[in-house]
Structure 1
Amino acid sequence: MINVIWIVMILIGVGYAGLTGTMENVNAAIMTSSKDAVSLCIAFIGILAFWLGIMNIAERAGLIHMIGGILRPLLVRIFPDIPPKHPALGYIVSNISANMLGLGNAATPMGIKAMQSLKELGGNSDEATPSMVTLLAINTASITLIPTTVIAIRSEYGAANPTDIILATILATTVSTTAALTIDRFFRWKRGIV
């Protein structure tokens, strides 16, 4: 459905430009945006490689395991229907740890593995389990301590201090994660799943 929405929006935009005689502006915008997108992607490659390298070093040094040790007791309470030693919990710990460090691209594979593992735990049903819904809510809210992607964008576009958004990011993601977990718990309670 989202593809249809995008196609309709593009057709409306191009149609309007054709009717109003501003097609050259559309062409110029396409060329400029394409150039900017490639430049931004190249900048992201460096930033992402750096942070993935840091993440790899942190993992080898035991930092991810330490974060996992801190998060695991909390996650056992957030996901009460997952057995404490189940691999899904390990994937969830890795996913949330990577999100906390602002590595959404690195967190995605672990999130997918967690969802696959939760689906197996739920009997491979096509219906989302409560734990799958909770994980999706947490990932959508995405608690972030270091917003590396936003810092990279701000740096690429010449911000005087690209890291000055960290405090605001922590505050915003704390509020969004708290709201997501509160709503998740409300619906679990309403369905008698708590």
Structure 2
Amino acid sequence: MLNLIWLFLIVSSIVVAAINGRMELINQAVFEGAKNGVTVCFGLFSVIAFWMGLMRIAEKAGLLQLLAKALTPIVGWIFPDVPKGHPAIGYILSNISANLLGLGNAATPMGLKAMEELQKLNPDKQAASPAMCTLLAINTASITLIPTTMIAIRMQYGSANSVEIVGTTLVSSFAATFFALLLDRWYRIRSRQLRK
């Protein structure tokens, strides 16, 4: 569906530009957009490499395991359907830890592996399980302590204080995660009531 929306936007902009005789604006936008995309990507490479390196050091030093241990009781409460010691819990903990540190790119593979493991526990293979929906809600809202990608983009565009967004990001991502979990619980209770 998203591909169709993008196709519609691109085709309609070309048609409108052709009708108004402004096709040079399309060419200019295409090349300017490509240039900006490459520039932003190069800026992100350095920051993501830095944080991935720190994450690797934290992993080797055992800090991620400490963070995962601290989160284990919370994850057990959030995912009551997943048995203790199941591989999905490890992937969920890694995913949440990476998201906390603002490493969405590093969190994605762990989230996919967690979904894979949760699918093995899913009795109905054609529909998402409650645990899968909860993981999706957490990933969509995602509490972030250090918004590394946004800091990198702000640095790339010459922000005077690129880290000033940390406080507001923390508050907004905490609120988003809180309400995502609240709605998730409400839907779980509601679906149980409807099944009775």
Q: TM-score range by the shorter chain?
A: over 0.9
For residue 115 of structure 2, what is the aligned residue in structure 1?
A: 115
Normalising by structure 2, we get a TM-score of 0.96
Normalising by structure 1, we get a TM-score of 0.97
For residue 82 of structure 1, what is the aligned residue in structure 2?
A: 82
Show structure 1 runs of 5+ residues with no match.
none
- AA partner of residue 100 (structure 2): M
Matched position secondary structure for 2:160: coil
Runs ≥4 residues deviating over 6 A: none
Task: Name the Cα RMSD after superposition.
Answer: 1.0
Alignment of 1:28-177 (within 5 A): 28-123=28-123, 125-177=125-177
Show structure 2 runs of 5+ residues with no match.
none
- AA partner of residue 139 (structure 1): N
Distance 1:163 1:58 in 2: 21
Instruction: Give me the identity figure in percent.
Output: 49
Which string of whole-angstrom CA distances, capped at 9 and with x for unpartnered residues, describes residues 83-130 of structure 1?
Answer: 111110000000000001000000000000000000001147121000
Which string of whole-angstrom CA distances, capped at 9 and with x for unpartnered residues, describes residues 47-99 of structure 1?
Answer: 11111111000001111101101111001000000011111000000000000
Shift of 1:44: 1.1
- AA partner of residue 187 (structure 2): F
For residue 24 of structure 1, what is the aligned residue in structure 2?
A: 24
43-52 or 130-139: which moved more? 43-52
Distance 2:19 2:62 in 1: 61
Distance 1:45 1:126 in 2: 38
Matched position secondary structure for 2:128: coil
For residue 179 of structure 1, what is the aligned residue in structure 2?
A: 179
Q: Aligned pairs, how many? A: 193
